[in-house]
Amino acid sequence: MSEHQDGGKRLGSWLKDRRARLDPAAFGFPSERRRTPGLRREEVAQRANISPTWYTWLEQGRGGAPSADVLDRIARALMLTDVEREHLFLLGLGRPPDAQYRKSGTITPRLQRVLDALDPSPALIRTATWDVPAWNRAATIMLGDYSALPPAERNILRIIFLDPRSRAMQPDWDNMARYVVGAFRIETARAAATDEIIPLVTDLCRLSPEFHTMWHENSVTEAPVDVVKHIDHPVLGPFAFEHSTFSVDGRPDLTLVVYNPATPADAEKLKVTINAPLPQGT
């Protein structure tokens, strides 16, 4: 059996299993006189608006590779979760589905506890549009008090380009800002959030000449593996942090950003700071 045929068999077997788990009555189909549990093949095909013969071939591992559009319709017909939809694409096409932007919801208490456990390293959660819905105490001390901002203004680009205090804390603001704009452009495109950021980009182009110039340079930037972020805190003095980002399991719309002290001296100073009352000017 060829690799393609073997993949088709795995896809067909998995689709058959998903179909068998569904309750026909929940979809408006009669549940009596069924020889096997779940939906019939023709019912899945009807819900997906595809040929019953084609769907039957798909479950039998015949008919060639399905298109992404067909897989999307089958995913909706079977009411697959995001994880199941991704698995369907991996089986059918050998790749995950294209990104689909979804507006972030609330941050779970579990995720907030992860942030809090990272103290004394500053850490925050960033959405696909670079809003900041959650952070820890160390981030409040080193980066700024997000809770003092209206939710609509808790955005990394807004802070970098519109907050004089944030600009003053960056020893090499121009290069840092240019890098951030390039990274923002490519990451929002990957997250299929290009349309969603139009109001933010329009507003920043109007309010910040620097952003207007950098945005229209149309550059894109990949984050270097060993990037170090320097912060000149107005009260605590200079710090160096290793900047790392991580995907949040089960939440493709969120990114965990951690600033780990780059030197033992930075780490020790941060430990002392995090256990002290918040200084004036944070």
What gap in Å lies between CA 270 and CA 116, rounded to an integer?
Answer: 15
pLDDT at 77 over 90: yes
Give the pLDDT confidence score for residue 159 in this predicted structure.
Answer: 96
Instruction: State the pLDDT at residue 278.
Output: 54
pLDDT for res 261? 92
Indicate the DSSP class of residue 146: G
Q: Is the pLDDT of residue 121 over 60?
A: yes
Spell out the residues 6+ positions from residue 211 whose beta carbon is closer than 8 angstroms to its own.
157, 161, 177, 181, 204, 205
From 25-29, 212-216, 274-278, the region with the lowest mean pLDDT: 274-278
Q: Which range is least confidently modeled, 85-89, 122-126, 248-252?
A: 248-252
The number of beta carbons lying within 10 Å of the beta carbon of residue 31 is: 11
Answer yes or no: are the C-beta atoms of 46 and 72 closer than 8 Å.
Answer: no
Residue showing tokens 């923002």: 184
Phi-psi region at 123: left, alpha or beta (left = phi > 0; alpha = psi -120 to 50): beta
pLDDT at 7: 62
Q: What confidence category does residue 280 fall into, taking pLDDT thresholds of 50, 70 and 90? A: low
Average pLDDT over residues 222-228: 66
Residues 6+ apart with CB under 8 A from 104: 127, 128, 131, 133, 251, 253, 254
Residue of 156, 150, 168 whose CA lies nearest to 124: 156
Residue 222 tokens, joined? 């990949």
- The whole-number pLDDT of residue 1 equals 43
Provide the pLDDT for residue 158.
Answer: 97
Compute the average pLDDT of residues 197-203: 95
Calculate mean pLDDT across residues 154-169. Answer: 95
Q: What angle do CA 104, 75, 27 make, to 5 degrees?
A: 105
Residue type at 69 in one-letter notation: D
Is 3.40.190.10 the CATH classification of the domain at 109-274? no
% of the chain surpassing 90 pLDDT: 50
pLDDT at 204 exceeding the cut of 90? yes
> How is the chain split into domains, by residue range?
3-93, 109-274
Question: What's the pLDDT band for 5 if we cut at 50, 70, 90?
Answer: low
Among 17-21, 43-47, 188-192, where is mean pLDDT lowest? 188-192
Task: Give the percent of the chain with pLDDT over 70.
Answer: 92
Q: What is the mean pLDDT of the chain?
A: 87
Q: Rounded distance, CA 58 to CA 9, Å? A: 9
Q: Is the pLDDT of residue 153 over 50?
A: yes
- Matching CATH topology for 3-93 and 109-274? no
- In the CATH hierarchy, which top-level class contains the domain 3-93? mainly alpha
Query: Please, which residues bridge with residue 143 across strands?
Result: none
The more confidently predicted of residues 281 and 251 is 251
pLDDT band at 226 (very low <50, low <70, confident <90, very high): low
